[in-house]
Each structure stands twice: as structure tokens, then as C-alpha cells.
Amino acid sequence: MKIKSLFNYKKVILALGDRGFLNFLNDKAYIKTRYYCKFGKKLNLDNPKSYNEKLQWIKLYDRKDIYTKMVDKYEAKKYVASVIGEEYIIPTLGVYDKFDDIDFTKLPNQFVIKCTHDSGGLVICKDKSKLDIDSAKKKINKSLKENYYYRGREWPYKNVKPRIIIEKYMEDTKDKELKDYKIFTFNGKAKILFISSGRQEGKTVVDYFDRDYNFLDFTWGYPNFEKIPPKPKNFDLMFELAEKLAKNTYELRVDFYEVDGKIYFGELTFFDGGGFDRIVPEEWNYKLGSMIDLNNKGEKNNE
């Protein structure tokens, strides 16, 4: 057996990066290294063409203090409320610096625990009597110790204060689940809807649609639905609200939920998958990339 098959250096480098051993690298060096290990080709920052390439460029060259507030799961609520209105915000039950500060006796039977500074620090409680508090504490405390910025060098997360936010548990009474409706905006214009389901059960499926609700035939880390999901009731309003929030950005994903016919804000994401997820077929990586004009932040489109 060849030594090469026993030692995949690209996977080793990616694992080292995930565990923080490459934090000493500057952003450009790290991003170039991770990109090569993920895709087996050099990152073109001088003339980026694909979606994933352009996201890396944006990470390095588009940095505003407001972006930190926009990705903070607590601060983003205040920001979004100021732009589109308080009626779209999921009620907050508490904000804490430490897990031990949470008084579970004062919480309702159902709620959601999130970390404000990362992706993945999440505990969903559907029945407080069955909640494994020790397990939840271990998961949340682990997330609180990590600076999410270092994994993919997503600059907006670098200075987010690690905190815990507890929100009201949301569920559609008809479907008994919470579907994600994620709007991709390009230079301030909302163009693609991403519908996600099954995440809470660990069986995530995703479909993509254009502004006219035409199905887009590609995958992006997850399989498609077996049957195309129905068009959300507030489809047009979601696009309208997303454009208000995406003003003066190159690219922004705006997430919503639709619960019993009403829209609620989820989160704002600048770099879907960190710009390191494979889009299949590859041609869609370039189609999406062509939608981002790096010379235009969308000011004219949103004035």
C-alpha cells in the first residue's frame, strides 16, 4: 500500500485548522491553504469567478464594524428590528454570560438555547422535564470557549462576545416542525430561496428556488426533498424584507421562519458554508458567482 493512501495531508491540515493549530497564520495564508485542501486547486483572489472564490475575497476585503453586530445572534435581533420591525423577532427569554447563570425553574416547558457567536452551539428543548442539563451545559460551554472566526476566517465573528441566548420555542402547528427559509441576496438584490427541513431530526433536506419559485437543480451539502415543498405563504414578503436587510452588501443570506402563516427572523449569514462547501454540479458554483459584482455593493439598487 502506498504511503500516500495512508497519509492524506490535506485532511490532516483541515483537521489541524479546525482544532486551532493554524491560528498563527494570517487570514490570507490560512484561507488559501484551506481552499486548496478542500478543492485541490489554488484560490484566485486576483480575478475570482466562482461563488466560493468570491466569498473568500469578501472575507478579506470587505470589513465593516456593523457586520459584527449583524452576525451576533443577540445584537442582530436589535439591528433587524430597527430595519424591518419588532414584529418579525422571536421573543428572547434570557441572555447570559455563563451557563450556570440560567435559572431553568423560570423557563417555560419548551425553549431554545443558542450561543450568540458561532454556528452549532444549539440545544432545543421540547420538554423541560426530559432535558439533560449536564449534556446541554457541556455542549454550550464547549462552544463558549471557541472563537468561531478562526475555523474559516469569517471576519465578522472575530469580535462577537460569546454569550448564551434563550429564545421561545417556535413550531408550526400544522407541520409540527420549523422550516428554514433562507434568502440569498447578491449586491442587495434577493434572487434565490433555500428551503430546509428535517434539521432537528438530523435528516436535513434542502431545495433551491428562483424568484419565480422555479426549482434550481443543484445540491449544496445536503440532498434534495423527495417532493418539492409548497411555496411559502409569505414568499414575496420574505424577498422584500431580505433586500432591506442586505443594503450595501456584496452577498448576504437572510434567514426566516414561517410559523402559522407569520414570518420570523432567523439570522444573517455572510459566508454560507464559509465558502468551503461543494456545490454540485460545479457549474452552479460559477452561476452563483456570476451573480456577485465585486465592484458594486448594491447602493444604487437599494437607495
Show me where the domains of the chain are located.
3-61, 91-169, 175-303
Query: Predicted confidence band at 96 (pLDDT cuts at 50, 70, 90)?
Result: very high
Task: Count Cβ atoms within 10 A of the Cβ of residue 179 and give its class: 0-12 exposed, 13-18 middle, 19 or more buried.
Answer: middle
CATH number among 3.90.550, 3.30.1380, 3.30.470, 2.30.30, domain 175-303 = 3.30.470
pLDDT at 275 over 90: yes
Question: Residue 49 — φ and ψ, nearest 5°?
Answer: -120, -45
Task: Choose among 225, 223, 194, 218: nearest CA to 208.
Answer: 194
Query: Predicted confidence band at 174 (pLDDT cuts at 50, 70, 90)?
Result: confident
CA distance 16 to 8: 13
Query: Mind listing the pLDDT tens digit for each residue in 213-272?
Result: 999 999 988 888 888 889 999 999 999 999 999 999 999 999 999 999 999 999 999 999
Query: Mind listing the pLDDT tens digit for each residue in 97-120?
Result: 999 999 999 999 999 999 999 988
Q: Quick check: 30 and 274 in contact, CB under 8 A?
A: no
CA distance 116 to 141: 12
pLDDT at 7 over 70: no
Q: Which of 120-124, 157-161, 266-270, 289-293 has the lowest average pLDDT?
A: 120-124
Output the pLDDT for position 114.
96
Peptide bond into 162 cis (omega under 30): no
- Which pTM was predicted? 0.92
Task: Choose among 231, 233, 238: nearest CA to 264.
Answer: 238
Output the pLDDT for position 36.
97
> Among residues of the chain, what percentage have pLDDT more than 70?
94
